[in-house]
Structure 1
């Protein structure tokens, strides 16, 4: 069973984005996830891909021959996307049961189809930021890499008449889409290094972990100690920088010695700032650790802040997020406490019997890999404790 969120007055609602280039397996993945989650007590609704809705109902490629239509179409897609998602969310909330909203593509996908100038102008006229569209709406983003990149023999558009990309175009679009979502706090890239069934099973396992269902996956990240904060001018990949404030709360459940909760505010660096607020609850059951995350409002964050654990420091970090060879990395640079400590987190999924395979970036000065025993020294939960 999934735990009730907050004070137990609401059922949890998880919102996931499935994106990627053409023929990545999104349609099949949504069908698999829907069945899997419903069988385990969740209400599930899928939000259809809006561009496909328009294209399959009369909007043709000829429309693009009219000057400025690319921006008009992406604006319309975004209008329908946000309205449709919000409407479905209201329906699921009204049910009052644990629920999952699966979105076939999302608002940031439009960035892959416009120039940076057109995209930025569109957002400016709307009065929104990328953080508003990317970070504050979804619990996780799953990028399913197109079959054209790594599984060429299976690349086909026969099941989607709205698509017309060659394999080369599909790969380019896949990479631009992936770049558009870069910066989401929980972005997972599912490549074609395994067969398609294994690709789907990886997705199911990750989703299970996120919604609090039992899974054979135990490790969420591999961690490495860096000798110093890297100079981002030496990075060979795109990256985003965020400021993070993590506040541990007074434990309400005294029956579980391992339980803890914290709220987190994650703010985008740069001219167009935007913040996302999140509540995380961690419990231990049957020897496993279950972690559930919920996006909360700024008001909820401020209310929870008043229940902070005064025996702990407020953890403040600079975080640098990037993708390297289809793997997600985040560097945590501590400001308080333990100022200057730098930890590299590689997002991996593995079982207890496996050693996660991580291809480390060559532009980082890595001292060593951290082991489980190092949590008492380098884990943020341990570092937050105020020693008297």
Structure 2
């Protein structure tokens, strides 16, 4: 089977996602890589005669159609004769939750909640709304500019927390915005993770509350491995457990080649039998939040009460970033192996 990458684009109306996907399909298709596009399901539902008069009914149908389309396209991608296949999704199942007030009712109707839906996408790229001067309506885009901004806020409410969310800010031109989107996708497809890791003072979560952080509990266990770092992770959030298997081979202090996949609980339990006996399981609370268009992950550990980690994935090692004023940095530990989770797991803390 082909190696499949599932990359979703979302954003406020008129944010440029559909136009970006059309260009991405051409730019990423080559002799060894197939490209598939999962179009926005809402158009199909409207064509079938459904209206937005009752958003719960409408979005339920959109979500069901989206799931059906995604599942069919995923089978085609896996059966590609090429080595790789990329699926670009124009919106996601997760989007549907942003449009309804009764999210529990939607989850019950489609058999999955917000956190469950995240596992359908390896990465989600959210495009920021354009400036007012660049906004325009069409026959299918009925929202005015103020409504579009409200849609953006609701989307952020359901997207923040995804393990691999990217936020692309608006630029002076669509070409610049597209270049940022393409750079993010290049990073995903390369398999290389460039991470800025900061040791910070224990945060005041009351002050960070305005960023609406999403909390997940993580249990991370390292396995016996001859090359690199092999680990399994249980990520629990909103009553949903998701299991990951990750192999990392470090290239530089802050850059590593990473292969990560979502696995079943059965596979997770089986791999735990190969846990490295010299290392203990790392337990931490992870808080995900956006600041100035940057997606931060703040990790608090059960063995520290005076410090924590703040992490940010970057497109390049010289990528500039800004920090929330509430964060007090002790030092940059991106290249210090003493602060790698793998190393900490071997200490008696």
Q: What is the match of residue 385 of structure 1?
A: 346
- Once the two structures are superposed, residues 45-78 of structure 1 have per-residue CA deviations (whole angstroms, 9 ceiling, x without a partner) of 11110002233x2547xx344xxx2211111111
Q: What is the match of residue 166 of structure 1?
A: 144
Cα deviation for residue 40 of structure 1 reads: 6.2
- Once the two structures are superposed, residues 159-190 of structure 1 have per-residue CA deviations (whole angstroms, 9 ceiling, x without a partner) of xx311222222112122112221111111110
Q: What is the match of residue 265 of structure 1?
A: 234
1:38 matches 2:29: yes
Cα deviation for residue 322 of structure 1 reads: 1.3
Which consecutive aligned stretches of 4+ in structure 1 deviate over 6 angstroms post-superposition? 285-288
Seen in structure 2, the aligned counterparts of structure 1 residues 367 and 212 have a Cα distance that, compared at 3 Å, is closer
Seen in structure 2, the aligned counterparts of structure 1 residues 275 and 194 have a Cα distance that, compared at 3 Å, is farther
Pairing 1:332-351 to 2, within 5 Å after superposition: 332-335=299-302, 341-350=307-316
Length, aligned pairs only = 347
Q: What is the match of residue 64 of structure 2?
A: 79
Q: What is the match of residue 153 of structure 1?
A: 133
Give the counterpart of 2:268 among 282, 298, 301: 301
Give the whole-Å Cα distance in 1 for the aligned partners of 2:264 and 2:189: 20
Is the 1:139–1:295 contact (alpha carbons within 8 Å) kept by the matching residues of 2? no
SS at match of 1:78: helix
Give the whole-Å Cα distance in 1 for the aligned partners of 2:301 and 2:172: 36
When the two chains are superposed, the root-mean-square deviation of aligned CA atoms in Å is 2.7
Structure 2 stretches lacking a partner, 5+ long: none
1:182 matches 2:160: yes
Give the whole-Å Cα distance in 1 for the aligned partners of 2:110 and 2:45: 22
Q: What is the match of residue 240 of structure 1?
A: 214
Q: What is the match of residue 320 of structure 1?
A: 287
Is the 1:211–1:292 contact (alpha carbons within 8 Å) kept by the matching residues of 2? no
- Once the two structures are superposed, residues 291-341 of structure 1 have per-residue CA deviations (whole angstroms, 9 ceiling, x without a partner) of 2322222222222222222232222111111112322111101125x6764
SS at match of 1:138: coil
Pairing 1:99-248 to 2, within 5 Å after superposition: 99-115=85-101, 118-134=102-118, 136-148=119-131, 152-158=132-138, 161-193=139-171, 195-212=173-190, 220-232=194-206, 235-248=209-222
